Structure 1
Amino acid sequence: MDKNGKGKSRLSNEESEKVITYQELTDEITGSQNLKEMQPTPQPKDYDEIEY
């Protein structure tokens, strides 16, 4: 959301070119309840396709 409380449909060039580190991304997800809820929970079937 921008300063006026309206969501942006497109990012500005500066924002779209910014590289976010893994730690920054993890911190953002950890700090946002909405993003936490959107994370998928691994299911046992997800591991069936992995060859060890």
Structure 2
Amino acid sequence: MFADESTVMELLIYAGQARSDAMEAIAASRQREWERAADLMASSEAACR
């Protein structure tokens, strides 16, 4: 059971990182920082895999 809990925690951490990067990408795009926004979205997508 402990391994299952560890797996769930790992999934939550990655999901949180993906969400955080996506939100930062939105903020960067509002500032017209297109390259930074694209990098952050790539990071967000990578955290989902």
TM over 0.5: no
TM-score of the superposed pair, with normalisation by structure 2: 0.30
Question: Which structure ranks higher in relative contact order (CA pairs < 8 Å, sequence separation ≥ 6)?
Answer: 2
